[in-house]
Amino acid sequence: MTSPALAAVLWDMDGTLVDTEPFWMAAETPLVERFGGTWSHAQALGMVGLALEDSARLLQNAGVPWGVDEIIAHLTDEVLRRLALEGVPFRPGARELLADLRETGVKTALVTMSMRRMALSVADLIDFPAFDVVVAGDDVPRPKPYPDPYLQAADALGVAIADTVAIEDSPTGLRSAIASGAVSLGIPLMVSLDGVGAHALWPTLEGRGAADLAALHSAHAPATTPQETR
C-alpha cells in the first residue's frame, strides 16, 4: 500500500489566498444602511464562505430591495475597486507558497464562490502565472458546501481529487473540500475551524512550502495498492 503523490493544490480565494473579507464587509454595511437597515459585525461574519447568492438573500432580508444579481454585481464592483486601489492583500505566506508550488511543478487551481470576473481579476493582479484552472461561483451548479466546485477543479486539472490538497479559511469551504475527498487544510482567519473535520489546521501559511503540503498529503491521502496506481 502506498500514498499517491500530491498532484495539485486547490486554493480558496477570499480569506485564504487573499485577505479580502474586510473589503466585502465594507461593501455590505453601507449598502444595508442606504435603505435604512442595520448590519452588525456578527451578521457579516455569518456570510464568510457563503455562496454570493445566499449572501445576497441575507442582505435582502436586512432590507436591501435589489435583486440577487444586482446585489452581487454591486458587491463585486466595490471589492474590485478596493483591489485596484490597494493591490492584492495576500495572507501571510500565501504568495510564497503559491510560487513554490509553481516552481516545483505542482498544479494549482483557484476555487472560489466569488464571481469569475472577480477571480480572474485577482489572478491577473498576481505577478506570475499563478493558476492552471479557475473555478468560480458562476461556474458551478451547486456552491460550497457541496463538493461540486472542488470536484470540477480536479476534473479540469486532469487529476484525481484524492491526489489534491484543498486550502480553506471557512467552515463552509472546508465542508466542501472534505465532501469532495480532497485532503483538507484549514487556515482560520475570522471564524473558528475547530470541529469542522479538516485533516489539519495551520495557524498560518508563513514559512510553509510545497514540501510541507506534500507531507500533509502523504499523511492523510487514502493508500492505494500497486494495481490502483497503474
* pLDDT of 224: 59
Q: Which three cell numbers stand for residue 48?
A: 464568510
Q: Which three cell numbers stand for residue 60?
A: 435582502
- Degrees, nearest 5: CA angle 177-145-71: 130
Q: Is 200 strand, coil or helix?
A: strand
Domains with residue ranges and CATH for the chain: 8-19+90-222 (3.40.50.1000), 21-86 (1.10.150.240)
* pLDDT of 21: 84
pLDDT of 192 strictly over 90: yes
pLDDT of 16 strictly over 70: yes
Contact 185, 199 (CB under 8 A): yes
* pLDDT of 174: 97
CA-to-CA distance for 141 and 128, rounded, in angstroms? 30
pLDDT digits (tens, 9 = 90+) for 103-130: 999 999 999 999 999 999 899 989 899 9
